[in-house]
Amino acid sequence: MPKENIEQSIRQAKQRFGIVGNDQALHLALERAIKVAPHELSVLIIGESGTGKEFFPKVIHENSRRRHSRYFAVNCGAIPEGTIDSELFGHEKGAFTGAISDRKGYFEEADGGTLFLDEVAELPMSTQARLLRVLESGEFIRVGSSDVRKTNVRIVAATNVNMTKAIEEGRFREDLFYRLSTVTIVIPPLRERADDIVMIARKFAADFAEKNQTDEISFDTDARWALMKYRWPGNVRQLKNVIDQISIFESGKTITKEIISAYLPADTRSTLPATVKNSPSYESEREFLFKMVLSLRQEVEELRAKLSGDDTAAVNEHKALSDPSARQVNEEEIGDLDVVD
């Protein structure tokens, strides 16, 4: 697919599913989802809780040949172990107490479409074996039945678990992992998308005000910096919760750093600082000061030379400043300048 078409598809996906941000890693994840969509491959989406993993299977489904068929999302961690097989593969009447009739599972309901298995690492080992069979042959058996059924389902799975560790600890089948992860898409955590945080916060604030007919909040410079510095362990989901709370109790206000701090958990507010992209380091600040001092000195000397009518002095001074050996500026010289912090 040409680059122009990819970029257009990314814009359309962001608009359709409300994905906010211009971070390069986010765009790379979207690009992978769009490129793999037309191909009948299993996809494993990896990312921390709250990063928005649930949007990417929808992007894949909508850009695939199955987009006119059904799409189902199943949270494997939310279904009790005793009923997960029935939910996924269906059951026969009388298979267990409460099974008063035959029931189709998600693999039958989603036949011809896409099935998203969220938190797939939470599946019991027995269910993992059944899932592996479906991936390998498209075959499954309802609970309480001996009849083999066929299905044509594309699987997209997601997890926030370290799969290598889960395999080593015997909690996840290695062969199933390789079946699921034909293509892997990694979703970046919010703390690595610092440049997007304020943009997302403003979107949540605007959405809340529109939905609830309240005055929209805004953020001053220090508040925006505080949002970017915070680690956001709950990622986008946590950010939305915080902005919703502030929108309720601080409606119409310009939000300050102090207000932001009051709505952040005390145990993570100061102990988990985030590394903000493009934040100036000490060395870069020092280099900037040196360049500023040199520039000021050059301008002063050139002005002095012009006033005295001695252009040669200005030329010699310019050559001296251009010499790398002359770029040594001591702290006393910097101290003589009034620098606004």
User: Is 277 a member of any domain?
Assistant: no
- What pLDDT score was predicted for residue 148? 97
Question: Which candidate, 42, 5, 48, places its Cα nearest to that of 25?
Answer: 48
| Statement to judge: residues 202 and 132 lie in one domain | no
Q: Could you tell me which residues come within 8 angstroms of residue 330 by beta carbon, excluding any fewer than 6 positions away?
A: none
- 89 and 231 in a single domain? The answer is no
CATH of the domain at 201: 1.10.8.60
Q: Give residue 335's pLDDT.
A: 46
The predicted pLDDT at position 304 comes to 67
Q: How many whole angstroms from its chain centre is CA 187?
A: 5
pLDDT score recorded for residue 234: 97
Residues 60 and 167 in one domain: yes
- Note the pTM of the prediction, 2 decimals: 0.77
| Predicted pLDDT of residue 135 | 96
Cα-based torsion angle of the residue sequence 262, 263, 269, 274 in order, rounded to the nearest 10 degrees:
-120
For residues 201 and 175, membership in a common domain is answered with no
The domain boundary, picked from 157, 188, 219, lies at 188
Which pLDDT score, from 0 to 100, does residue 97 have?
86
Has residue 118 been placed in a domain? yes
The predicted structure's pLDDT at residue 281: 43
Record the tokens describing residue 227, joined without a space.
């949002």
Examine the domain organization and report whether 160 and 103 are in the same domain. yes
Q: Do 200 and 63 fall within a single domain?
A: no
Give the span between the Cα atoms of 141 and 149, in whole angstroms: 6
Boundary of a domain, candidates 188, 213, 235: 188
For residue 18, being part of any structural domain is answered with yes
Give residue 206's pLDDT: 98
Which pLDDT value is given to residue 265? 87
Report the pLDDT value the prediction gives residue 309, as an integer from 0 to 100: 60
276 assigned to some structural domain: no
Q: Does residue 184 sit in the same domain as residue 226?
A: no
Domain extent, residue 218, equals 193-269
What domain count does the chain have? 3
Residues in the chain: 341
Determine the pLDDT at residue 301: 65
Residue 334 vs residues 172, 228, 249: alpha-carbon distances, Å:
60, 31, 46
Q: What is the mean pLDDT of each run of 10 residues along the chain (341 residues)?
A: 85 96 97 97 97 97 97 97 95 90 96 98 97 97 96 98 97 98 97 96 98 97 96 97 98 97 75 41 48 59 63 50 48 44 42
Q: Which two tokens stand for residue 287?
A: 């280099």
In a domain, 275, yes or no: no
Q: Are residues 21 and 159 in the same domain?
A: yes
